[in-house]
């Protein structure tokens, strides 16, 4: 089966680099799955769960803001915060929520919708743990 080169990097380290068969990504305007030969695509991330499938192995990561860059052969996810789903605790998510809420309070008027959406998306993360 055709594979796609998948990279997950955060500002502090490279979390994963492997050949994946499919990657389910929480895009800003909805989830989507990237497979080999996906059209070149660039989208921002919303806080959510990223699922990487390589053969029969599935790895899940929790990611917050950042973006995804997809070309036909490679998918790079640049996430501001990224960690394996198993490492995520309630406190970490509470921290994200606090940060998103603080950002929403100081956001200039034209960005307020975006900031509020981020708060809602971050709160939705609580359901997954």
Site residues (vs another protein, CB under 8 A): 7, 9-14, 27-29, 39-44, 65-67, 69, 71-72, 76, 78, 80, 103, 106, 108, 111, 114
Is-contact 51 125, C-beta < 8 A?
no
How do 74-79 and 82-84 pair as beta strands? unpaired
Nearest residue (CB) to another protein, 17 versus 126: 17
d(CA 126, CA 4): 30
Nearest residue (CB) to another protein, 48 versus 66: 66
Nearest residue (CB) to another protein, 56 versus 108: 108
Angle formed at CA 35 by CA 88 and CA 38, multiple of 5 degrees: 120
Residue 15 CB, nearest approach to another protein (Å): 10
């Amino acid at each position: 089966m055709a594979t796609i080169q998948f990279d997950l990097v955060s500002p502090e380290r490279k979390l994963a680099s492997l050949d994946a068969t499919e990657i389910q990504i929480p895009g800003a305007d909805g989830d989507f799955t990237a497979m080999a030969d996906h059209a070149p695509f660039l989208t921002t991330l919303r806080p959510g769960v990223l699922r990487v499938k390589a053969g029969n192995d599935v790895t899940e990561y929790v990611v917050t803001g950042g973006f995804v860059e997809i070309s036909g052969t490679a998918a790079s996810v640049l996430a501001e915060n990224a960690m394996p789903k198993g490492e995520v605790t309630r406190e970490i998510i509470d921290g994200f929520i606090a940060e998103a809420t603080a950002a929403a309070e100081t956001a200039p008027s034209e960005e307020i919708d975006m900031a509020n959406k981020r708060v809602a998306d971050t709160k939705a993360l609580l359901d997954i743990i």
